[in-house]
A and B are shown apart, each in its own frame.
Chain A
Amino acid sequence: MNYSKVAWRNIWRNKSRTVITVLAIVVAVFLSSIMTSMQEGTYSRMIDNVVKFYTGYLQVHHPDYWEKKTINNTFIPTDTLLQVISQTSGVTRYAERLESFTLLSVGDQTRGGALIGIDPVRENEITNLSHWIDTGAYLKPHDDGLLLTSNVAKSLGAQLGDTLVLISQGYHGASAAGLFPVKGIIRFASPQLNNLGAYIDITRAREFFSAYDRATSVVILLENQDLTNEVHSQIAQTLGSRFSVKSWNEIQPEIQQMIDADRSGGVVMKVILYLIIAFGIFGTVIMMVSERKRELGVMVAVGMRKGRLATILLLETLYLGLIGVAVGFAFSMPLIAYFVKHPIPLPSEVAKSYETFGIEAALYFSGNSIIFIRQISIVFIITLIISLYPVLKALNLKLTKSLRA
Chain B
Amino acid sequence: MKVIDIKNITKTYTDSEVEVHAVNGVNLSFEQGEFAAIVGPSGSGKTTLLNMLGGLDTPTSGEIHIGGTNMASLKGSQLIDFRLYNIGFVFQAYNLIPVLTAKENAEFILQMQGIPKKERETRVVELLTAVGLGDRLDSRPSKLSGGQQQRVAVARALASKPKFILADEPTANLDSNSTENLLDIMEELNREEKITFIFSTHDARVVKKAHRVITLEDGKIISDEVKAIH
| A interface with B by C-beta (< 8 Å) | 1, 6, 9-10, 13, 294-295, 298-308, 399-400, 403
Contact = CB atoms under 8 A, between A and B. Distances in A.
A10 B99 CA distance: 6
A301 B89 contact: yes
Nearest to B80: A305
A301 B99 contact: no
Nearest to A9: B99
B57 A1 contact: no
Contacts of A303: 80-81, 83-85, 109, 112-113, 160
Contacts, number: 63
29 contacts: A1-B104, A1-B107, A1-B111, A6-B100, A13-B98, A294-B94, A298-B89, A300-B80, A301-B54, A301-B91, A302-B89, A302-B156, A303-B80, A303-B83, A303-B84, A303-B109, A303-B113, A303-B160, A304-B84, A304-B112, A306-B77, A307-B77, A308-B112, A399-B56, A400-B51, A400-B56, A400-B57, A403-B56, A403-B91
B99 A302 contact: no
Contacts of B109: 302-303
B20 interface: no
Given A300-B80, A303-B160, A308-B112, 6 more contacts: A1-B100, A13-B98, A13-B99, A295-B98, A303-B109, A304-B80
A300 to B, nearest CB: 6
A6 B109 CA distance: 13
B95 interface: yes
A301 B56 contact: yes
A6 B105 CA distance: 11
A295 B97 contact: yes
B30 interface: no
User: How many residues of B sit at the interface, in one of the four size bands?
Assistant: 20 to 34
B100 A305 contact: no
Contacts of B108: 1
A298 B91 contact: yes
Nearest to B88: A302
A299 B91 contact: no
A13 B97 CA distance: 11
A337 B39 CA distance: 71
Contacts of A307: 77
A292 to B, nearest CB: 9
A304 B83 CA distance: 9
